[in-house]
Structure 1
């Protein structure tokens, strides 16, 4: 049978304040066409379906429209989604009864039975081929939050015989052990085991800027050894860089779109995994076309950056939602108060969307030391002067101070008008 593995869609993400619904819609349309062309038997979505726990209605509509369309075009397709650390497990599961009618299964949380054992039945899902015969079992493990897996030994509710493995990683290990044991007992000869997990594995490469830590303030990486060799394929989510971890059968599909400018050069893809009997026969990375280009200019000196901006191609015929995203990074040696105006002038109406302008300032000797000051006695103007001098090594010029004074007065005048409108003295 044939599986397609993807993860980290982050539907509803705002990119430096800009919505990306058009990009996500284009990706999902491409994914649907790919599922049909490849005659896939199952789609595995390994977490971070949404970007936030309370996604917008438009982001939710993207997901549910995709599931309905997939069922219309591939009625025998099994879809399995698990919650990631960006998702709300309860929200992912909320429409589960309706989704099951479309052969879509959403797992958001693990549950424990009254005897303290893991409720494995709801986490084990049969995957069928085109003829309807079960060819594999999916071990669907949503993101495991510390509150769900830490504490006393879950297998012994009274705590007797606990092995002192009461931390987060040990709790995850217990969940994997119980689920894998149940899957081995359930499968029949010739049926493969496929695991899904949203986790950070030891030895995997983390993105530069865009991945939220799994657990704040705690050890979070787990061992690939949790997935023994009789699991034919492990579909992972959380890390945005597509990669295998030690073996070809243990893979992060990576995010289908760059979620930060630091991910511009990643190979964005989905993974096709072909199973023969109980084993993995082949994998193939399928490149995801980028619906909107991303340009990253710099870091470099101002004049060089401006020249690169002026050399960007211009295609005003494109609709605005297809204009490339742009990040500009400039290395400065002296203050440039009109930097943004100069950058926008260099763009000269080009069909790009400037999202981020980063100023890289010179490091001064002794920078980083802390000096205690009384802000109330110092006042806004003196604080501004000290900050400027600390950054640039010289006091602000008269015209800079004049600009500051005007801005400060405008702010104070605005406060006075607000107070008058509210009847305050």
Structure 2
């Protein structure tokens, strides 16, 4: 049985106010061709399908047109979609009954009955091979907000509740799996040690304590298809626990990423082979200069840019990186003049101020750097300044508790 794993499409995203519908459509067209060429039996989409909880009509049409075309071109294909922290669970699930009739299962949120018990059946999805027989069971767990996990609403029970839900769902999948059928997992979460993009990802819960351990995936899980982190990566150096990453760079911090979809071949209850299929980049992102440089040098490099004449949809985005000693009121006008007539789109001017430090004094943070700090980051820095050492874990835990609402529930820190 052959699977394809993808995530974090972020349909509807704009890059510094530039629409990216064309780039997303190029990816979706490539994915359709890849499904057919690879003769895939199932497609796993691990969350953050949309960039916002209220996606545009254009973004929604892109998704549903893709699902319709995938079914038409690969009638045997099973598709499983889970909600990410950017998605609206209800909006994603709304067309579920119609989609299920065409081979697509959407799991947006966990559902409880009148007694408060979670309906685990909704999270267990059978996957069929080309002969129509069930060959694998997929444990599909969407992004879980603190109150959605089993147990009470206390913050310190959040991770334990998530692990409990996965364990309960695994137990049900094990009971269903017979005759060498594989057990798969899907999740949209931040795993311990995961490498996040500094510009386009935010931690889901205050304090970074939402990170989950790889040990929550049992030894009988053939493959875990994860979403949330945009860099394709293994979890804990384990081959079968993977983030597929986003299919296109969602910020200039991701210029160096090799975007991919993962192909997984199952042999009975195990993953026999896992291979990346690299996604072509439809539009380039350029950082000029490669590292922050004085204005004169930056302008000279912009003037020297020699780019082919391309259709406007594929003009590269440019981030201009300048090193300043003092305010430069006419900077944007200089940059725009240097790019006049060139087939590029000026997305961002990134100024970095030259900092002269005094021995023993930490340099001041820029406004951009301050904007990216979380409350626990500030606590860590202050502790280091005051005591000259890293903040102890118990102090970090106590500080996190202070940030909770007065009813003791965890405060969600979704990326909007």
Shared topology, TM-score over 0.5?
Answer: yes
2:302 aligns to what SS in structure 1? helix
Partner of 2:324: 332
Q: Over alpha carbons, which structure has the higher Rg?
A: 1
Equivalent in 157, 161, 179 of residue 167 of structure 1: 157
Kindly indicate whether residue 318 of structure 2 is the aligned counterpart of residue 305 of structure 1. Answer: no
1:197 aligns to what SS in structure 2? strand
Alignment deviations for residues 355-396 of structure 1 (CA, whole Å, 9 cap, x no partner) = 101121233679869xxxxxxxxxxxxxxxxxxxxxxxxxxx
State how far apart, in whole Å, the 1-side matches of 2:364 and 2:294 are: 24
Kept after mapping to 2: 8 A contact 1:28/1:66: yes
State how far apart, in whole Å, the 1-side matches of 2:38 and 2:150 are: 41
Partner of 2:194: 204
Partner of 2:267: 276
State how far apart, in whole Å, the 1-side matches of 2:217 and 2:161 are: 15
Q: Which has the higher contact order (CA 8 A, sep 6+)?
A: 2
Partner of 1:355: 347
Alignment deviations for residues 277-310 of structure 1 (CA, whole Å, 9 cap, x no partner) = 0011001001000000110113111122122212
Seen in structure 2, the aligned counterparts of structure 1 residues 186 and 115 have a Cα distance that, compared at 3 Å, is farther
Alignment deviations for residues 162-196 of structure 1 (CA, whole Å, 9 cap, x no partner) = xx995211110111111011111111121000100
State how far apart, in whole Å, the 2-side matches of 1:311 and 1:114 are: 68
Structure 1 residue 333 displacement after superposition: 1.5
1:343 aligns to what SS in structure 2? helix
State how far apart, in whole Å, the 1-side matches of 2:349 and 2:91 are: 36
Alignment deviations for residues 25-70 of structure 1 (CA, whole Å, 9 cap, x no partner) = 1100000000000000000000000000000000000000000000
Alignment deviations for residues 210-261 of structure 1 (CA, whole Å, 9 cap, x no partner) = 1022124562100110101100000000000000112100000000000000
Partner of 1:26: 26
State how far apart, in whole Å, the 2-side matches of 1:226 and 1:280 are: 18
Partner of 1:267: 258
Q: Could you tell which deviates more after superposition, 302-311 or 319-328?
A: 302-311
Alignment deviations for residues 101-149 of structure 1 (CA, whole Å, 9 cap, x no partner) = 1101111001223444321111111101111111101110000110111
1:167 aligns to what SS in structure 2? helix
State how far apart, in whole Å, the 2-side matches of 1:151 and 1:327 are: 47
Equivalent in 212, 219, 230 of residue 222 of structure 1: 212
Seen in structure 2, the aligned counterparts of structure 1 residues 165 and 175 have a Cα distance that, compared at 3 Å, is farther
State how far apart, in whole Å, the 1-side matches of 2:77 and 2:148 are: 31
State how far apart, in whole Å, the 2-side matches of 1:196 and 1:206 are: 19
Kindly indicate whether residue 48 of structure 2 is the aligned counterpart of residue 48 of structure 1. Answer: yes
- TM-score normalised by structure 2 residue count: 0.83
Partner of 1:285: 276
Partner of 1:408: none
Kept after mapping to 1: 8 A contact 2:124/2:138: yes
Kept after mapping to 2: 8 A contact 1:310/1:347: yes
Partner of 1:375: none
Equivalent in 248, 256, 272 of residue 247 of structure 2: 256
Equivalenced residue count is 358
Seen in structure 2, the aligned counterparts of structure 1 residues 125 and 353 have a Cα distance that, compared at 3 Å, is same
State how far apart, in whole Å, the 2-side matches of 1:141 and 1:344 are: 47
Kindly indicate whether residue 135 of structure 2 is the aligned counterpart of residue 135 of structure 1. Answer: yes
Kept after mapping to 2: 8 A contact 1:320/1:351: yes
Seen in structure 2, the aligned counterparts of structure 1 residues 218 and 240 have a Cα distance that, compared at 3 Å, is closer
State how far apart, in whole Å, the 2-side matches of 1:152 and 1:346 are: 59
State how far apart, in whole Å, the 2-side matches of 1:310 and 1:94 are: 51
State how far apart, in whole Å, the 2-side matches of 1:127 and 1:311 are: 54
Partner of 1:323: 315
Structure 1 residue 2 displacement after superposition: 0.2
Kept after mapping to 1: 8 A contact 2:150/2:164: no
Partner of 1:96: 96
Q: How does 1:146-185 map to 2 (within 5 A)?
A: 146-149=146-149, 151-152=151-152, 167-185=157-175
Kept after mapping to 2: 8 A contact 1:324/1:351: yes
Kept after mapping to 1: 8 A contact 2:45/2:82: yes
Name structure 1 gaps, 5 residues minimum. 154-163, 370-425
2:332 aligns to what SS in structure 1? helix
